[in-house]
């Protein structure tokens, strides 16, 4: 995600500002006027680059999900057991959150209304499904409906991250939390 916002000039400022506002306040609490004001541009300048707030959010979300899926594909390409790959995905996800908290928080909170707008090929659950299917075929993972496994796995992995900004004071320190989630994934699939 190093190059997520490589746009120079006003477009880059608008993207960075909208991401910060969406992550801090939530998509619904932010208006185009809020973004333009915080970015130091006119609303007309903002509309030269984007059709509106949803277009900005979709652009950001697609960039984040594309990069995340690319990294999951690298994990899947490893010659390893399925459970180890799923644990590595937790590690990658938590490391991305640590490095890009605004981006990951935004993606976690926005997936419910933007998911259907992104192309199928950038959706990470297809890689997770493939890993789980392969694990069940090899006997590494107990046989279960694959989408039930995906739901349980992603809930264990992602829900603590979605809640972390609100409960970081009562949750374990971040590296301990990551280790506990990895341990929970190993137990889940044993």
On average, the pLDDT of the chain sits at 92
Interval 141-167: pLDDT, tens? 999 999 999 999 999 999 999 888 888
Instruction: Report the pLDDT value the prediction gives residue 40, as an integer from 0 to 100.
Output: 93
Interval 72-126: pLDDT, tens? 999 999 999 999 999 999 999 999 999 998 889 899 988 888 999 999 999 999 9
Q: Taking 50 as the threshold, does the pLDDT of residue 3 lie above it? A: no
- Cβ-based neighbours of 84, under 8 Å, separated by 6 or more: 78
C-alpha angle with apex 131: 127 to 135, nearest 5 degrees? 165
At the topology level, CATH places domain 54-188 in Tetracycline Repressor; domain 2 (1.10.357)
Residue ranges per structural domain of the chain: 54-188
Instruction: Report the pLDDT value the prediction gives residue 6, as an integer from 0 to 100.
Output: 56
DSSP letter for each residue of 36-69: HHHHT--HHHHHHH-SSHHHHHHHHHHHHHHHHH
What token pair was written down for 57? 């959010």
Residue 150 near residue 86 (C-beta atoms within 8 A)? no
């Amino acid at each position: 995600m190093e190059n997520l916002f490589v746009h120079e000039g006003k477009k880059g400022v608008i993207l960075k500002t909208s991401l910060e506002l969406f992550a801090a306040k939530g998509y619904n609490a932010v208006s185009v006027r809020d973004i333009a004001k915080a970015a130091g541009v006119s609303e007309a300048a903002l509309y030269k680059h984007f059709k509106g707030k949803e277009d900005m959010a979709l652009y950001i979300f697609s960039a984040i999900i594309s990069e995340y899926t690319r990294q999951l594909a690298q994990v899947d390409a490893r010659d390893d057991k399925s459970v180890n790959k799923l644990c590595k995905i937790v590690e990658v996800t938590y490391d991305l959150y640590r490095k890009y908290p605004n981006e990951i928080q935004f993606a976690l909170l926005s997936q419910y209304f933007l998911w259907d707008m992104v192309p199928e090929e950038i959706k990470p659950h297809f890689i997770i499904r493939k890993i789980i299917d392969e694990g069940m075929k090899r006997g590494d993972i107990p046989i279960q409906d694959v989408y039930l496994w995906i739901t349980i796995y992603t809930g264990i992995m992602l829900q603590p991250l979605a809640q972390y900004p609100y409960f970081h004071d009562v949750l374990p320190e971040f590296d301990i939390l990551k280790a506990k989630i990895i341990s929970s994934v190993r137990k889940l699939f044993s």
